[in-house]
Amino acid sequence: MAKKNLAIGCLVVLVLAAVLIFSAGTGTYNNLVKLDQGVRAQWAQVENVYQRRADLVPNLVETVKGAANFEKSTYTAVTEARAKVGQMKIDESVVSNPEALAKFQQAQDELGGAIARLLVAVEAYPDLKATQNFRDLQTQIEGTENRITVERQRFNETAQAFNTKRQSFPTVLIAGIFGSRFAEKAYFKAQAGAETAPKVQF
């Protein structure tokens, strides 16, 4: 009788331990899913603001083209950079692929640089700068660039929250079981050379 009670007691303890482990594992998995979805939602927002910029570029180019004797190579560079961005096939799997994210970021940085060079070149054309269409577009592009910076920062914050949770114990065990489903998220990084302050000469 005592052996039977001991066996039942051991069985109850094992069942309770299994229920506790399963419950903890389920909670950890659900938390990873929540954080992963947060990263994906923030990635969609990053894509959204980049798309806004890409949508503004044709209007900017057409407005600038209307200026007499404007440097064709300047707005051609913008058009080509936008086309390069448009040719990239990017889906949300890029958030777990540092190389793909770096290529995406490089293409976007090239477009941003081309737009900046175009806006600098416009300084030599006061008539163009004075048009309402151009001023409106310039304001929208500047606002969009600010949004891009904010959304990239928010993306990095959500990726950091996910990566921190993913690498903590015992979450790292659950993440390991599911492999690429919960792969570490990549981060946006500063442009090469951004650590060096530009030289200003008067």
- Residue ranges and CATH numbers for the domains of the chain are 32-182 (1.20.1440.20)
| Residue-wise pLDDT tens digits, 56-115 | 888 888 887 766 556 677 778 888 888 888 888 777 788 888 898 989 999 999 999 888
HSE-CB of 148 using CA atoms within 13 angstroms: 21
Gap between the terminal Cα atoms of the chain: 97
AA letter at 114: A
Mean pLDDT of the chain: 82
Burial (CB count <10 Å: 0-12, 13-18, 19+), residue 106: middle
- Average pLDDT, stretch 15-38? 81
Q: pLDDT tier at 193 (50, 70, 90 boundaries)?
A: low
Please say whether the beta carbons of 161 and 167 come within 8 A: no
Is 174's pLDDT higher than 50?
A: yes
> Which residue bears the tokens 């080509």?
80
Distance CA 32, CA 20 (A): 18
Backbone angles phi, psi at 193, to 5 degrees: 90, -5
